[in-house]
Amino acid sequence: MKMTTDIPAGVASPNTVQTRLGTLNFFDGFPDQETVNKVYDNLDFQRAVQAYLLALAPVNVAGLREGLLTVGPANVTIPTFEENLNARSIFLTPNATTPYTWIWIDLHKGPLVVEVPPMTLGMIDDFWFKYVTDIGIVGPDKGKGGKYLLLPPGYEGDAPEGYMVVRVPTFESILVWRNMPVQGDIKPAIERLHKNTRIYPLSQVANPPANTFVNVSDRDFSTVAPADYRFWELLNYVVQNEPVESLDPITLGFFASIGIEKGKLFAPDERMKKILTEAAAVGDATARTLTYQSRIPEAFYYPNSTWRQWLGGYKFQSQPGVAHLDAAAFFYFYATGVTPAMEAKMVGQGSQYAVGLLDSQGNPLDGGKTYRLRVLPNAPVKDFWSAIVYDNQTRSMLQTDQDFPQVSSLDQGLVVNQDGSVDVYFGPKTPSGMEPNWIQTIPGKGWNMLFRLYGPFEPWFDKTWKLSEIELVQ
């Protein structure tokens, strides 16, 4: 033809393309109907899996919401583990050394006053599981307690004086803190809680309604979200009830592409429901793979080590402005509570974490076998260290005959080796003479653990003190 131009290589589509989707057919670049169906099914599935991973954060919080609201209504109810949290309650990787208070906040009816007791350590995270503010020792009250005023999205009124004002981007959020023991005694912390904690609407400040304190210690309930089709229903609840402005457009776009969009009915047809059900299964498999078998070298504390660390800080970024998708998926699948303290180096303060998911040979931890972790002498801690075992399925404390699947340097009767090291044993049977140092596991069931350092010293940060690997005992 008169106006013919040579087309550069790679621009035109062949009539037949072999892909993982099978054979794709085109007539001069135009897809046939079978190809259109394959491509749209694949696109919907891809977007659904990515939406699942992006939604781990809000659905994690939605699981907390469901569990806490079985205890009592939002704002009114103050659920607290007045004794240390044990294995009966299903929570994502909690500790067993300080009593938690978990409060579900709902600002749909307007500003809320929260009176916080002294000597707490906690935070507010919004419904997308994004950090809002610290509470307590590292928060605005600096551990003295006081009155916080929580303002809902879009609030335009004046904030009265005398409050620590917090603008929460979402209407619903989680307020959680640890009640700090006094010289190991929990009772003063719980007394402070009951004496000083109040939650009430700002509009009722002159005559605040009563709160209900509920001791949830040893309570049989779950705050862990499901990973099946109901995952999408929980996500839809969050999307429908929170402002569009509270999350970024791309993440909301992924949710919208699978039929979850604010102001619109979530009613997938049978084709889409089948895709979403499979995507939830693949999404859960992906989250478990990212958590238990990371392929990122910097995810590990030391070269040739199996000990995992958090990546990406509390914003989960590989560098400023760049999301670290794998780090976020790992954290939101495995843990709760987002705060800048996650990345802060606080020598002699706070806590540090090492995640043990594999033995020294890189094999999964088997509840039918016996393992040993040797905590080397002079552990770099001001306060104490602890080792707690969790269930690979629920990421909650492993449920055995032990109330607390934990060994801690505070434990009475702990067997200490002559050189000052401590051997912690994991297995189905108690090693002879090592009962205080033993955490029970279950044959046929996998497990993982967190090693915590409370008040970590410099040798932990500069790695001159190194955590030994978890060794299989032959």
Domain ranges of the chain: 72-215, 295-472
Report the C-alpha dihedral over residues 318, 319, 322, 325, rounded to 10 degrees.
Answer: 10
Instruction: Give the model's pLDDT for residue 21.
Output: 97
Instruction: Give the model's pLDDT for residue 363.
Output: 98
Strand 371-375 to 470-472 pairing: antiparallel
pLDDT tens-place string over residues 27-43: 999 999 999 999 999 99
Average pLDDT over residues 222-244: 98
Instruction: Give the model's pLDDT for residue 79.
Output: 97
Query: 343 pLDDT band (50/70/90 cuts)?
Result: confident
Considering the chain, what is the average pLDDT of its residues? 96
pLDDT tens-place string over residues 202-226: 999 999 999 999 999 999 999 999 9
Architecture of the domain delimited by 295-472: Sandwich (2.60)
> For residue 315, what are the contacts with CB-CB under 8 A and spacing of at least 6?
131
Instruction: Give the model's pLDDT for residue 326.
Output: 97
Average pLDDT over residues 315-339: 96
Query: 182 pLDDT band (50/70/90 cuts)?
Result: confident
Whether the Cβ atoms of residue 15 and residue 26 lie closer than 8 Å to each other: yes
Cα–Cα distance for residue pair 381/97, rounded to 1 Å: 15
* Closest by CA position to 409, among listed 426, 389, 425, 386: 386
Distances (CA, A) of 70 to 53, 67, 306, 333, 449: 27, 5, 38, 22, 28
Q: What is the DSSP letter of 193?
A: H
Average pLDDT over residues 349-365: 95
Whether the Cβ atoms of residue 226 and residue 280 lie closer than 8 Å to each other: no
For 32-49, b/e burial (b = at least 16 CB within 10 A) is: eeebeebeeeeebbebbb
3-state secondary structure of 49: helix
Cα–Cα distance for residue pair 437/447, rounded to 1 Å: 17
CATH 2.60.40.1610, domain 72-215, yes or no: yes
Instruction: Give the model's pLDDT for residue 349.
Output: 85
Note the pTM of the prediction, 2 decimals: 0.96
Whether the Cβ atoms of residue 444 and residue 368 lie closer than 8 Å to each other: yes
Average pLDDT over residues 69-81: 97
Query: 344 pLDDT band (50/70/90 cuts)?
Result: confident
Give, for 83, the enclosing helix (H) or strand (E).
Answer: none
Q: Is 80 exceeded by the pLDDT of residue 83?
A: yes
Query: 318 pLDDT band (50/70/90 cuts)?
Result: very high
pLDDT tens-place string over residues 428-464: 999 999 999 999 999 999 999 999 999 999 999 999 9
Q: Is 80 exceeded by the pLDDT of residue 69?
A: yes
Query: 341 pLDDT band (50/70/90 cuts)?
Result: confident
Picking from 175-184, 207-216, 405-414, which range would have the lowest pLDDT averaged per residue? Answer: 175-184
Whether the Cβ atoms of residue 435 and residue 274 lie closer than 8 Å to each other: no
pLDDT tens-place string over residues 106-155: 999 999 999 999 999 999 999 999 999 999 998 999 999 999 999 999 99
Instruction: Give the model's pLDDT for residue 196.
Output: 96
Whether the Cβ atoms of residue 423 and residue 377 lie closer than 8 Å to each other: no
Q: What is the DSSP letter of 29?
A: T
Kindly state the percentage of the chain with pLDDT values over 90.
94
3-state secondary structure of 160: coil
pLDDT tens-place string over residues 243-276: 999 999 999 999 999 999 999 999 999 999 999 9
Picking from 133-142, 183-192, 356-365, which range would have the lowest pLDDT averaged per residue? Answer: 183-192
Cα–Cα distance for residue pair 372/337, rounded to 1 Å: 29
Query: 51 pLDDT band (50/70/90 cuts)?
Result: very high
Q: Is 80 exceeded by the pLDDT of residue 184?
A: no
Cα–Cα distance for residue pair 78/134, rounded to 1 Å: 18
